[in-house]
Amino acid sequence: MQKLNILALTKSTGGIALYNRLLLTELGRVGMGSETLCLSDGAAEYALSLTSKGLGATPMDMARYSIDPRGDLRVLRHAIARIRADEIDVMICHGSKAGFIGRAAGLMTGCPVVYRQASMPFLPRVQGRKAPFYWALDFAARGFGGHVVTLSDYARSQTLRHRLVPPDRISIIRTGVDIDRFRPSRDRAARVRDLGLDPARPVVGWMGRIEPQKAPFDYVETLRLVADRHPEAQFVLAGEGRLRGEVENALAAAGLSDRVAMLGWQPEPALVLRAFDVYVLTSHWEGLPLTLLEAMASGCCCISTDVDGCAEAIEDGVSGRLLAAGATGAMAATLDEVLRQPDLRHRYSGAARHRAVTLFDKSEMIDKWIQLLSRMTAETAIAARTS
């Protein structure tokens, strides 16, 4: 297997940053070196999280949601300098802006570039009237070359529909999870006690960034509708974010402060998920959410909104339930159903684990990345020799 030197460009928060760290950590295990240009908010903290794992990282300022000619040009020049000085074999760029800058650097240096797309399927929901600008940005970068990786069939179809890349320059590599680390627990009782809860009672959990995308208020409303019907159930909300204070106020207003355990950020999500009987995801947009896949691999009964890649993760009525975003009444009814029917809950959880093992194994994800990166660098080397 060819050993490569990788330069990554990514924003420093959210699922994009987690994906980059997971990918480069696993590629590092097979001998590939990497350096990440950590961009936008949280860059210094994210760089530390990478260097603590033995990965190279450089924090850089970059305006996340606006054009900043001076700052963007600074990132572009730095990327070009690193490509030339460090003999970079391939670049991996996560997200629209990093993808544009990275592909421009690849065009100027001849370095092959992979643009790992993040938000194309749900741009209108995220950016509103700015969405055409982001499509235009990606369309302009089409001429720079490079290869696009999407996380789902839906994302690929949307990208091709908007003619943002030719069909031969796009691949689907689904997010993968460590199915040995995230697995059904033989020590559930101990894990539940670690959360300060009663292992004799079912646990319903929500875990993620407490941000608008994740719609935590929909979870609060769902619980308001269903909690009184299930005094035996225990409810958890784990995570941190800008909306935490407002969510706590909403729980108090709903009379749920004593029913919902606010756990904060969890450094070991695998241990927390082993305590959950039911996992609820209320997001209004997602690519292919890592936490949902981790919950499936952990053998949770999963209830999720049907947005974007979520609809490809769960088979509705087979390996969990899918509901329209914002449909808190339907979500409450579904949660009521699985709490009333332990056999149904267990059937969903077993099918979820099987689906995660079959489709979302991290080892398959990494194998596909290695194959893609090796092919791209080999094609670039052949083109250089024949030019």
Give the integer Cα–Cα distance in Å for 354 and 352.
5
Closest CA to 71 of 45, 96, 97: 97
Q: Which residues contact 40 (CB under 8 A, 6 or more apart)?
A: 11, 12, 13, 61, 62, 63, 64
Q: What is the pLDDT of residue 387?
A: 60
Q: What are phi and psi of 338, to 5 degrees?
A: -75, -25
Q: What is the pLDDT of residue 165?
A: 87
Partners of residue 238 on adjacent β-strands = 207
- Per-residue model confidence as pLDDT tens for the chain (387 residues): 578 999 999 999 888 898 999 999 999 999 999 999 999 888 999 999 999 999 999 999 877 666 677 888 999 999 999 999 988 999 999 988 899 999 999 999 999 999 998 765 544 555 556 666 667 777 778 889 999 999 988 889 888 888 888 999 999 999 999 999 999 988 899 999 999 999 999 999 999 999 999 999 999 999 999 999 999 999 999 999 999 999 999 999 999 999 999 998 888 999 999 999 999 999 998 888 899 999 999 999 999 999 988 999 999 999 999 999 999 999 999 999 999 999 999 999 999 999 999 999 999 999 999 999 999 998 877 766 676
Q: What tokens appear for 95 in the block? A: 């997200």
